[in-house]
Amino acid sequence: MGKLRTNLKTQKDKAEALENIASASTAKPAAAPTLARMPKPIVRRLVLWASVILGLGYILPNAATIAVLAYILSTFTIASQEIVIQMGGTMLFLLASLLLMVLGVFIINWGIRYYTNASCREVVFVGVIIASFYLLCLGIGSVLLAPQIGLGELLLVISPVLIMVSVALYTVPSFSFKTIGALLGIVSAVSLAMAMFYIQPLKLVFMSWKPGEGWENIPFLGPFMSLASSEGMVVIAGSIAASIHSLSPGQKAKPASYALFSIIGLVYGISLFIGAFMLSFSFLDIVWKAPWLPPLYGLPSWISSVVIFWSASLVMLEIGGFVLIALSCLGFMSAAKESSQLYQT
């Protein structure tokens, strides 16, 4: 009996060993960390850095703009109706610069909320409304300061009103209203892009103040602190991406959203860097020529100091452009990952 028990135990051990070998051979190996799995925490950090840098890039240069516009207002003497209209337009541009600083604060707040995985819907909604008021101030100010009202000035007034209407339609819990809001948002983006193509709003202030003194040669940035020539493409692509993201919340729309937002970040990042670089060195050039040539010749010395600060603060936009380009590369990787998963299923 003892020998029989020993044989049974030996056979049982052999069977367990064979089962272990079989399970080890059929078990899937542990998944190695791939590049597609790595970016999530990296993306959140990059988004936080980009939002903080871009927010400061919106705040600091516009603080210098407000200081210069306040000096321009102080030089006016109310002697005619034309001067009053010019003062009103300049005051609207000063208010617009203040609103853009507030928008920079909201950009930083959005990045912090995204990093902490908190809800960003309210911040985005209020930020879009502030941006619309900002564009409306630019449009009305451009109408007041332009020597002749053209298509660009009119579109810059109409576009922010359409944007606010489209945002209001987005808030209605109805798919049909959201669809109308999305289409209206695309129409407003196209009209805003056309306005950006026709005019450079900030240049109007300085040219109406000191015409023919060199301000027309300064490559001022577009409404959103980058090259005006490429901001139109960013605005149109952004409205299309937002429509796809809001109207198609399923998994199948994710690759298209990632790809479109990555294209927007890439174009806007390059535009930020190039625009800020060109404007910064143009400011340094007029500061260097200030003792003997306009446009800074004859102005108080503190204006030159403010322009130097303006030029230095544009470095934040250049850094933000680089971070946006890095984010766009990770976005393209995420789009490729999501599309491959959809094809596998």
Query: Would you say residue 3 lies in a domain?
Result: no
Query: Would you say residue 118 lies in a domain?
Result: yes
Query: Would you say residue 31 lies in a domain?
Result: no
- Supply the pLDDT for residue 338: 65
Query: Would you say residue 137 lies in a domain?
Result: yes
- Supply the pLDDT for residue 147: 86
The total domain count for the chain is 1
134-143 pLDDT, tens digit each:
999 999 999 9
Query: Would you say residue 320 lies in a domain?
Result: yes
Query: Would you say residue 76 lies in a domain?
Result: yes
Supply the mean pLDDT for the chain: 84
**Selection from 173, 190, 301, 304 nearest residue 238 by Cα:** 190
329-342 pLDDT, tens digit each:
887 877 777 666 65
55-75 pLDDT, tens digit each:
999 999 999 999 999 999 999
**pTM assigned to the model:** 0.84
User: Any idea which residue has 């007034």 for tokens?
Assistant: 157
Tell whether the model's pLDDT for residue 172 goes beyond 90: no
List of long-range contacts for 210-215, beta carbons under 8 Å, 24+ apart: 210/294, 210/295, 213/294, 213/295, 214/286, 214/293, 214/294, 214/295, 215/295
CB-CB contact of 223 with 138 (8 Å): yes
Q: Is residue 298 left, alpha or beta, with left meaning phi > 0 and alpha meaning psi from -120 to 50?
A: left
Tell whether the model's pLDDT for residue 26 goes beyond 50: no
For residue 8, name the pLDDT band (cuts at 50, 70, 90): very low
Query: Would you say residue 339 lies in a domain?
Result: yes
DSSP string, 290-317: TTTSTTTTTS-HHHHHHHHHHHHHTHHH
For 208, the domain range is: 40-344
273-287 pLDDT, tens digit each:
999 999 999 999 999
Tell whether the model's pLDDT for residue 15 goes beyond 70: no
- Supply the pLDDT for residue 253: 59
Query: Would you say residue 16 lies in a domain?
Result: no
